[in-house]
Structure 1
Amino acid sequence: MQKNPKNEANKITKVLRTAGFDQFPIKVREVALEYSKAVCPEAPISAIKPVPIPSFEGMLKKNPKGDKWIIGVNEDVASSGRINFTIAHEFAHYILHRDLQQDFQCAPKDMHTWDALGKKIEAEADVFASYLLMPADDFRSQVSGQELSIDLLRHCADRYDVSLTAAALKWREIAPGRVVVLAAKDGFLDWSSSNDRAFKSGAYLATSKHLIEVPATSVLARSIRSASGDKARIDARAWFPKEPEGLEIIEHAFVVEGDGYNYALGILTLPGRDREADDEEDLLVPLTGEPTFR
C-alpha cells in the first residue's frame, strides 16, 4: 500500500509527543536511527555519515547484505538547516520508498533528468521532511495572527532549525488565500512554488519550461540587502497576465545569503477567488524549477 508522506510524518510526531520528546528543533539524526529500528528491525538505518562530494546533497543506500541502510549527507558548504532537511529527506525515502529501490542519490542538478516516478518520490520526500521538522499545528501556532515578515520567518527557521526558504514554503501552505514562493538570481527566476489554491487558479510560474524574467515593477528587481526585507503592492498582471485588470498583489522580497549561494526570495500573496480550493488534502503541489526546501 502506498504511504502518504504527511500521514507518516504526523505518525512519528505523535510517537515523539507521547514519549515526551516534543521539543524543537527535532533531533532528526536520533529520530531516523531509533525509529528505523522500531519499524524495520531487520534492516534499520545504521549510520548517518558525511559525504563531502561537490554538488551533492544526500543519499540513502542499502548495504550489500541487505540488513542495513546508510544515510549520507554533504555537510560542507551548508547550513545546519539545510543539513537537517537533507537528513529528513533521506529518512523519508527510507520510510516511504525503501521497497521501490535500494539506492537514492539526491542532488539539485539531477532534477531535470528524473522521470515522472523520480519527481514524485522526491516531492513526497520533501513533504515528509517538511511535516516532520515543522508539524503543521505547531507552525500554525507560531504564525497565527501575525503579519508575514522576515522576522517571523527567521523565528520559524530558528525554532525548527531549517532554512529561511523551508520556513517560507511552510508558511505558503499554512497561510490563507493564494500564495506563490519563488527565488530569483541575476534578474531571472530559479524556481517557483504555488500553494494549491494559487495553482488551481492558474497563478503559477512554469520555470522548468520557460526562462522567466523578473518583472521590472517587481520588488525582486530592486531587492537590496536589508534586515527587514522589502514589501510593496504591485499589479497582479506583472506576474500573472490572466488575473483581472486592476487587481493588486502583495510582494515580499528577502535577500538570502549563504556559503556558496545567494538569491532573492520572493513571496507573492494574491487575493482569494470566490471559490477557494480545499487546502487540507492537496498540499503536494507541483514544484517548478530546482528543489527548494533547502
Structure 2
Amino acid sequence: MGELMVSKSPKSEANKITTVIRTLGFDQFPINVREVALEYSSAICPQAPIVAIKPVAIPSFEGMLKRSPKGDQWIIGVNEDAASSGRINFTIAHEFAHYILHRDLQQDFRCAQKDMHTWDALGKKIEVEADVFASYLLMPADDFRKQIDGHDLSIDLLRHCANRYDVSLTAAALKWREIAPGRTVVLAAKDGYLDWSSSNERAFKSGAYLATAKQTIEVPAASVLSGAVRSATGETARLDARVWFPREPEGLEIKEHAFVVEGDGFGYTLGILILPERDREEKGDDELLEPLTGTPSFR
C-alpha cells in the first residue's frame, strides 16, 4: 500500500481550499466544513464525491470515511454522542482530509482516539496528516496570526480562537503552539499523569520534549498542573525549567499555564509550557505539526 501512496501536502491542500472559499467570497468563520466537504468533493471528483455526512454511533470511534460498494460515492460518519460542536467539527474536517489526501489508499477509514505508537508507520502518517489538514482548513494560519498578534497567551485568548473557528480549546492551543514564536510545549494530564505531550519544532530540537509515547510520565509535584483547579482564568506561574526538563540550564525559568477542561464524558488539565528561546538552527515553516509524543486530542 505504501508504494501506491502519492504524497500530498496537507497544508497545501487545506490552503488551496481556503483560497477557493475566499475567492467565492465566503471568508467567514467558523467555516461550514460540512458544506465545504460536500461541494468541494463534488467539484474535484464528480465521479466519486462525498454525498452525505451522517451521525453514526460507532463505539470507540470518533468518525469514519467509507466508499460505497460501487465505488461511485463516499460517506462521512461522525460519532456525535456526548461530543461538543468543536469535536464534531474537527472530526468532519479530519475525515474530509482522508478523502482529499488518502482516498486512493483505502476504501474505509475508521478513526479513533488511540495511541499513535500502536499503529504501523503508514497508519500514523495518514492520521497525523489528516489532523494537520483539518487544523489548517478550520484555522488558516494567516487568520490565526491576526487573532493572537499583540496578545499574551490566556484562557480568554484560547476561548476566543476556539469560538471563532468552532474547535476545541485544545485544538486552539495546539495551533497557538505552532504559530507563536519561541519554544512551546502543549500537554494534557489526567489523574496525575501525562496523557500526551506535543512540542513545537523549536522546543523539540532543543531537547524540550516529553516522550509520553514511550514511558509513563507523572506530573511533577512542583508544577502548576499538579494542583490545578477549574477557574475562569486558569492558573499561571513561573518555575524552574528543570521541574519539567532536567537538561535545561540551571536557573532558567519557564512560564506554565494550566487550564482545567471539563465536558460530557471527559475531563483533563491542559498545560502550556513556554520556554525562553535558545540559539539553534530552525527548520522551515512547511514542517508538519510534529513531533507528537502521544496522541493530542484535537477534538
TM-score by length of 1: 0.98
1:28 matched residue in structure 2: 33
Aligned partners of 1:199, 1:49: CA distance in 2, in Å?
39
Residue 138 (1) aligns with residue 143 (2)? yes
Matched residue of 2:12: which SS? helix
CA distance in structure 2 between the partners assigned to 1:290 and 1:269 by the alignment: 20
Partner of 1:260: 265
Residue-by-residue CA offset, 1:59-101 (whole Å, 9 max, x unaligned):
0010100000110000111000000000000000000000111
1:58 aligns with 2:28: no
2:277 counterpart SS class: coil
1 CA distance for matches of 2:165 and 2:142?
A: 13
Alignment of 1:159-174 (within 5 A): 159-174=164-179
**Aligned counterparts, 1:66-215, within 5 A:** 66-109=71-114, 111-215=116-220
1:2 CA displacement: 1.3
> What corresponds to 2:15 in structure 1?
10
Instruction: Indicate yes or no: 2:275 matched with 1:270.
Output: yes
CA deviation after TM superposition for structure 1 residue 112, in Å:
4.5
Residues 167-191 of structure 1: CA deviation (Å, up to 9, x unaligned): 0000000100000000001110000
Letter in 2 for 1:61: K
Shift of 1:274: 1.3
Superposition deviation, residue 114 in structure 1 = 1.2
In the alignment, the residues of structure 2 paired with residue 292 and residue 196 of structure 1 have an alpha-carbon distance, to the nearest angstrom, of 19
CA contact (8 A) 2:115 2:213 kept: no
Amino acid at match of 2:204: F
Report how far residue 202 of structure 1 moved: 1.1
Q: CA deviation at 1:113?
A: 3.2
2: distance between equivalents of 1:97 and 1:200? 29
SS in 1 for 2:134: helix
Aligned to 2:3: none
For 1:183, give the aligned amino acid: A
Alignment of 1:226-241 (within 5 A): 226-241=231-246
User: Could you say what secondary structure the match of 2:157 adopts?
Assistant: helix
Give structure 1 regions of 4+ aligned residues with deviation exceeding 2 angstroms: 109-113
Alpha-carbon distance, 1:239 to partner:
0.8
In the alignment, the residues of structure 2 paired with residue 206 and residue 13 of structure 1 have an alpha-carbon distance, to the nearest angstrom, of: 34
1:53 and 1:100 map into 2 onto residues whose CA distance is 22
SS at match of 2:184: strand
Aligned-residue Cα RMSD (Å) equals: 1.0
Counting only pairs closer than 5 Å after superposition, residues 213-228 of structure 1 correspond to structure 2 as: 213-228=218-233
Q: Are the equivalent residues in 2 in contact too, given 1:207–1:288 (CA < 8 A)?
A: yes
Secondary structure, in 3 states, of the residue corresponding to 2:114? helix
Amino acid at match of 2:73: K
Give secondary structure in 1 for the equivalent of 2:186. strand
Distance 1:123 1:288 in 2: 12
The amino acid of 1:182's aligned partner reads L
Equivalent AA in structure 1 for residue 30 of structure 2: P
Give the 3 Å change call, closer, same or farther, for CA 134–251 of structure 1 in structure 2.
Answer: same
Aligned-pair CA distance for 1:276: 4.7
1:8 partner letter: E
Contact 1:196 1:283 in 2 (8 A): no
Gaps of 5+ in 1: none
**What is the TM-score when the length of structure 2 is the normalising length?**
0.96
Change (3 A) 1:276 1:233: farther
Q: Which amino acid in 2 is paired with 1:89?
A: H
Give % identity: 80
